[in-house]
Amino acid sequence: MAIRANGVQFRQESPAPNIRGNDEVFYYLYDPNVDKWLSVQMETITLGRNASAYSGFLRSVNGILTTASFGPDIPHDGTLVALTASATNTPNNIGIRVYNNGNNIFQTNWASQDFSISTDVDFSVGNLSVDIRADIVPPTKPNYPIVQLYAKWRL
């Protein structure tokens, strides 16, 4: 059910896919900028690598190595709305590739550690992983990279 108040539309719905029946309900807000219903709630996924001059897939808690088809499991469909990448060396080149269930859904090359708050990348229920590359010129690989993904659930 959509509720309109002063031109703002809300919906109170179970997420998609609905794995908990009516036990789980989120508030969604229609965002005309991206033409999507996105949850008010936001999730953060953090991956990193405790190594200098690193290229490759990042690791999860306790050093679990992710791959294109293995990473933190995501219970619902959603949209990446922001991401950050940090490293300890300056300058550094950080090429970021995000995978969802084995598919490359996003990539960017940053000349240095940076952040984006205009990301608009959909993902499906399953898993997410991040591959760090330093294949742009000059290829200065990042030291001790950390990537944080910010996700909202999508109807």
Does 83 engage in binding with other proteins (CB under 8 A)? yes
Select from 14-22, 100-108, 134-142, 145-153 the region that touches other proteins (CB under 8 A).
145-153
The nearest distance, CB 102 to other proteins, in angstroms, is 22
Q: Is residue 1 involved in binding other proteins (CB under 8 A)? A: no
| By CB under 8 A, residue 104 contacts other proteins | no
- Does residue 78 come out as left (phi exceeding 0), alpha (psi in the -120 to 50 range) or beta? beta
43, 33, 38: which is closest to 13 by C-alpha? Answer: 38
Residue of 13, 55, 57, 60 interacting with other proteins (CB under 8 A):
60
- Asked if 31 touches other proteins (CB under 8 A), the answer is yes
Should residue 59 be labelled a site residue for other proteins when binding is judged by CB under 8 A?
yes
